[in-house]
Chains A and B, each alone.
Chain A
Amino acid sequence: DVKVTQSSRYLVKRTGEKVFLECVQDMDHENMFWYRQDPGLGLRLIYFSYDVKMKEKGDIPEGYSVSREKKERFSLILESASTNQTSMYLCASSPPDRGNQPQHFGDGTRLSIL
């Protein structure tokens, strides 16, 4: 089975801090994704990456950046955390875009910005 591991289940940080959320997958997947989940809004794509050192903006990239130095690891960075970034963050990975290749998700990181 595919395993996607997010480093923290719960995280509390202060406004203005630089925050790192880490995600590791063990299936050698090319594609990796970061979403945030808010009640009534579903999942919204922040950034994704289709290869090492490659990144693409999703639907809501403002206030975030990402890093993919190794294939298995995709980091989400909040450069200067703000209270409106309090949310559940979900990481996912998938193989290349051939046929049916669903995304596999980690358990999420619930981030609170005080």
Chain B
Amino acid sequence: GEDVEQSLFLSVREGDSSVINCTYTDSSSTYLYWYKQEPGAGLQLLTYIFSNMDMKQDQRLTVLLNKKDKHLSLRIADTQTGDSAIYFCAERWTGTASKLTFGTGTRLQVTL
């Protein structure tokens, strides 16, 4: 099957930028998503990018997509303690009943 890989842990200081990286293997993916999971909760959709885009910005969030290298990143500007969570990237391709393949998740720890 297709693999989506993420590093497991990232620690940043409050106010700095966080960059969470993701690599995927299926070049036919159409949409790529970032989800956030706070402690004890389900997954909340943060943002997404269509595969024909290189970049998408949404307030403090910037998504970069490098299709050639199959690399996706999520940058969080001015990281706050409320951003502490697990972040999952996920890829989707057409004709699969909206099935997603998720990465392993990156735990973001924000320190004061």
Contact = CB atoms under 8 A, between A and B. Distances in A.
Interface of A: 4, 9, 31, 33, 35, 40-45, 48, 50, 56, 58-59, 90, 92, 94-97, 100-108
Contacts of B40: 9, 107-108
B52 interface: no
B1 A59 contact: yes
B33 to A, nearest CB: 6
Interface size band for B: 20 to 34
Most buried by B among A4, A95, A105: A105
B96 interface: yes
Contacts of B98: 31, 94-97, 101, 103
Nearest to B5: A42
A97 B95 contact: yes
B103 A42 contact: yes
Contacts of B48: 100, 102
Top 3 closest A-B pairs, CB basis?
A105-B42, A42-B104, A43-B102
B3 to A, nearest CB: 10
Given A59-B1, A90-B42, A41 B95 contact: no
Contact of A102 (B1, B33, B96, B99): B33
A33 B4 CA distance: 19
A58 B96 CA distance: 11
A41 B104 contact: yes
B22 to A, nearest CB: 11
A35 B8 CA distance: 19
B55 interface: no
Given A43-B88, A102-B33, A108 B41 contact: yes
7 contacts: A31-B98, A35-B102, A42-B103, A56-B97, A103-B45, A107-B40, A108-B41
A77 B105 CA distance: 26
B2 to A, nearest CB: 11
A32 to B, nearest CB: 10
Contacts of B104: 40-42
